[in-house]
Structure 1
């Protein structure tokens, strides 16, 4: 008996490996925005992968390996070859082998079904599968050796389709190499790790620090450029392929350039400052509600716009420009539900509190925010949302304040930092897509705050039941692909929250501040971004006695 060279991998590896060729990171895909399934991948923690150079990684993930390039020079394109028809001798020979050895695992019952013509490549894939089964049969030593006639047929088939079999073998080897690399270098078979590292160069400029109306302190704004960094690590785990458990770790030393530097929170940036200590940023679990909804339960630091659409197209560098103030006072532990009633109409509700684990206050007796929203997108170009929120805090100075640290001090604490305060808030947000690259957005928000205790607790002349009205608005614009594909130019113009009427008259804002912001996100690579930006606030604290304050930022962001 002749020795046969039948060392071919199972053809089904091609089908299973195609996804890994097209998207090598698919083995660590998670639920992002919408539900994405997490595949289950076997992982041996005792098998420590060898250190891999950048060149090795690029070779594995960037197109076909050199061996395929060499093959392309000597192998005729299979699409240029004639098909194998049912009356072809090879077609009938393979059919006979399949019937004898049940060697075609890809068809039901191991049969060679159909009477249609096949491409030579498709035929060779079935032949390769059958050859693998015959090889295993020989190696099993169960006295079921192929007949001599069958061996002669196999040799003839191998010779006839040598070109196609060689090409398939090379492709399978490439797939197996990539699968082995992914299994050896994946973070976890069930958990996806994604992260961002930011380097920030920040400075503030102006004459003096801002002061509230009625204050006489005129401290000079003496600021130096700062270089700082922050890291965010998201661990996303799925148990069903449609759910997500997120554990977020954060660390950083980035100054927010708020009131401690400029005298006002109107200049506050979106930053992370944990004193470089690693902290748990957020912890939540979300799962589907039927086919159109989602439910999230969070013991730590969730926020509605993680699920609710904020209808703000820009990527803002500032706290004010990130989203409408109607969302900002809703933060903490609790739950969020959002449901798409139709393709155009959706709604949601959230209940969040920062006293969730406090035994003396718990879920319902401490600070809390109840937020509800109806979203409507009548066309692909236009969408808007109406939002209502109810807020309560027994002492807003030590919890989330009324406007989420946006606007003037009077807007954040209309009755002082120690007075129990509630608020009914209303917001209208919209987005309009002018073109594929230019998107406009905007919002207007109104807060009706009420003193739930006497403002005298905060040293103010007022009474329990006093009310205050707070307004805010903004217009935003987003321009994509300016200068380079993937770039993003963001513009924000608006009025930070302002107290226009207050029964405690000493805490009304007499003038009007305006916020102007421009930032540009430039992609150096798919994973590295440079973000220059600046903002200026006129008459900070809604006080014309204050000169404008500028804040400039240069951020380098590394995503992985």
Structure 2
């Protein structure tokens, strides 16, 4: 369910509600054995979103986003984006259930017709939701800045550079039940060897062959993958061909 409402020519409000298991009205079991597949429209996994977009000029825009959600199992983020600690804070509850409050801000500034800057920042708090009172929580961050170069080389081309941090946890508590398996640790992040902030650096160039075909080669460089300097850097080459009809 969604709503998009124009408060004024410069301000837009968007609301949304998503229930992945809306067609399964079975009640959630106390032991979470069906915690990812039941609950129906309002008593299972869901995400409720509110976003306020403000565009004071045609060259400047920014948005504020809030998401309240409930989930069970993994991953937290779509398509498992981010580190394991961000996507799988299963130790903050003894049944993997958790509530989520996420806050985001994003902005775009078109400095010149052929140069723009955009960026975003996200903070997510995940709170364990087991039946007991020993729940813990996790804090997850993600942020980036991107430079865009429209019509680079010729009309229709696009160059881009992105430097950012994928979702990663700075703190992820451990319920007492699991602490003996981690040497008594109360924060799973403290157990990551040689831990570091993961960094994502990307460059791409979209080349428009004609009105219907474009090719976009690119390269991605991942530093401290999965939040540890013990993991070697990863370099990925990409190429995408787009057909427009």
Q: TM-score, normalised by structure 2?
A: 0.82
1:426 paired residue number: 103
2:77 paired residue number: 403
SS of residue matched to 1:434: strand
Match of 2:172 among 487, 502, 514: 502
Q: Does 1:363 align with 2:41?
A: yes
CA distance in 2, matches of 1:522, 1:469: 39
CA distance in 2, matches of 1:475, 1:543: 22
CA contact (8 A) 2:171 2:188 kept: no
CA distance in 2, matches of 1:384, 1:472: 17
Q: Deviations over 1:305-351 (max 9, x none)?
A: xxxxxxxxxxxxxxxxxxxxxxxxxxxxxx11111111111111100
Q: TM-score, normalised by structure 1?
A: 0.37
CA distance in 2, matches of 1:442, 1:487: 21
1:525 paired residue number: 210
SS of residue matched to 2:44: coil
SS of residue matched to 1:378: strand
TM-fit CA distance, 1:415: 2.3
Q: Does 1:472 align with 2:154?
A: no
CA distance in 2, matches of 1:358, 1:433: 46
2:11 paired residue number: 345
CA contact (8 A) 2:45 2:70 kept: yes
SS of residue matched to 1:363: coil
CA distance in 1, matches of 2:142, 2:241: 31
CA contact (8 A) 2:48 2:69 kept: yes
CA contact (8 A) 1:446 1:469 kept: yes
- Deviating more after overlay: 503-512 vs 402-411: 503-512
2:31 paired residue number: none
- Deviating more after overlay: 484-493 vs 441-450: 484-493
TM-fit CA distance, 1:503: 2.0
TM-fit CA distance, 1:527: 0.6
TM-fit CA distance, 1:558: 1.8
Q: Does 1:491 align with 2:161?
A: yes
TM-fit CA distance, 1:507: 4.2
The runs of at least 4 consecutive aligned structure 1 residues that moved more than 6 Å come to: none
2:115 paired residue number: 438
Q: Deviations over 1:255-281 (max 9, x none)?
A: xxxxxxxxxxxxxxxxxxxxxxxxxxx
Matches within 5 A, 1:280-295: none
SS of residue matched to 1:377: strand
Matches within 5 A, 1:240-251: none
2:55 paired residue number: 377
1:559 paired residue number: 244
Matches within 5 A, 1:36-185: none
Larger radius of gyration: 1
CA contact (8 A) 1:406 1:412 kept: yes
Report the RMSD for the aligned CA atoms in angstroms: 1.8
Q: Does 1:544 align with 2:229?
A: yes
**In the comparison of the two structures, how many residue pairs are matched?**
215
